[in-house]
Amino acid sequence: MTSFNRVEIDIGALQNNFASIQKRVGPQVKIMAVVKSDAYGHGLLECSKALFKAGARTFGVAEVWEGVSLRQAGLSGEIVVLLGASPGTYEDIIRYDLTPVVFDGDILDGLSLQATEMNANVGVHLKVDVGMGRLGIMPKEVEFYMAMIKRLPGIFSAGILSHFPMADESAGSGETLQQFAAFQAILAKLQENSSAKYVSHIANSAALIYFSTTHLDMVRPGISLYGCYPDGSPARSMALKPAFELQAVMSFKTRVIQVKEVTTGCGISYGHTFVTSRPSRFAVLPVGYANGYLRSLSNKAEVLIGGRRAPVCGRVCMNACLVDITDLPPVQTGDEVVLMGRQADEYISADEIAGWMDTISYEVLCLFGSSNERVFLHKGFYKK
């Protein structure tokens, strides 16, 4: 069955973004395509397969079950589990050849025991916290954990990573460079004490765009793969030489289900937070907060109808909202409405919607993508 509402995923744009990132970092730098959280709402399996065709050979997921889903769908390459392992996941990690991020001694012990029982050898990536204040061991613990990994049977060190908390902030350059220096010092000390080879990585989307010295062996693009800029604006990226341009991958569309005319002084939707000041025409749209189009968009958002902007008026309901079409050419039931994306010469971006919602594009994409029918478009398919 077909819904009124559909999220369109442009596979060609996704693949071209991957190619742009590879060009940005150079052929010698690996790319971990971050496809966690259903590929930021774009579809885990479909996007991962498309990225593999574009050249991706390493994928980042949040949880083990995501990695298992990719393996069961036939995806090869390395799959790194960014949230790591837990006692109930060791067997799946080994059976499906997943690479967990590690930051806990008990988990290392448990993984080693399971690997030994299954006669396996599991690569792990050790996570170090150099300023994020989230997951990861402290820098002073690195040597201890590396020695532990070396000592335990059935596991080996395949990588070491950290994460930048402020690379997307223009005012955070100093902190980002300090954190990178701290990570480099860790890498240098490890190289002094061992000739072991493993992949080092710290650069997220913001760092791979704005801090080219941080690319190391591998970068981890997430939001940039899906056509959004990590700082919410293309201006900073477009000022680079050469400019770094991305293509939006997701669009969100619906259709008009009723056109109605009302008089002056008519209250619109719950609570009558909008009252008409003139005779008006409204289009009723079958989209609301159940579709990820949140109540916070009430009396703030705009949509595109016939290539023109129309404001959302009144409160957004669970399954409906209204837009004022008084100043637009005639609108009919069934007309296409673009909530996010391009129509004629007008464009509404995920970042613009994020501004109305007081959030970030990441949340917008996850909300829309997880709450609506998805259609995958192969127009402009990238060919390697």
> Dihedral of CA 317/329/364/372: which sign?
positive
Nearest-angstrom CA–CA distance, 299 and 315: 7
Strand (E) or helix (H) holding 345: none
Instruction: Indicate which residue of 30, 36, 127, 253 is catalytic.
Output: 36
Burial annotation 52-68 (CB, 10 A radius, 16+ → b, else e): bebebebbbbbbbebbb
| Residue given tokens 């059976």 in the structure block | 95
Q: Token pair of 265, please?
A: 């002084």
36 flagged as catalytic: yes
Nearest-angstrom CA–CA distance, 225 and 56: 11
Structural contact between residues 247 and 16, judged by C-beta atoms closer than 8 angstroms: yes
127 flagged as catalytic: no
Nearest-angstrom CA–CA distance, 298 and 314: 6
Give the CA distances from residue 21 to residues 30, 129, 222, 241, 317, in Å, rounded to whole numbers and listed in that order: 10, 25, 11, 14, 39
Nearest-angstrom CA–CA distance, 93 and 175: 35
Give the SS3 label for residue 16.
helix
* Rg, the chain, Cα only: 24
Tell me, rounded to whole angstroms, the distance of Cα 42 from its chain centroid. Answer: 8
Name 380's Cβ contacts closer than 8 Å, sequence gap at least 6. 10, 12, 13, 16
Instruction: Indicate which residue of 23, 150, 260, 270 is catalytic.
Output: 270
Q: Give 351's Cβ-side CA count (13 Å radius).
A: 14
Q: Token pair of 224, please?
A: 């940039």
Catalytic residues: 36, 270
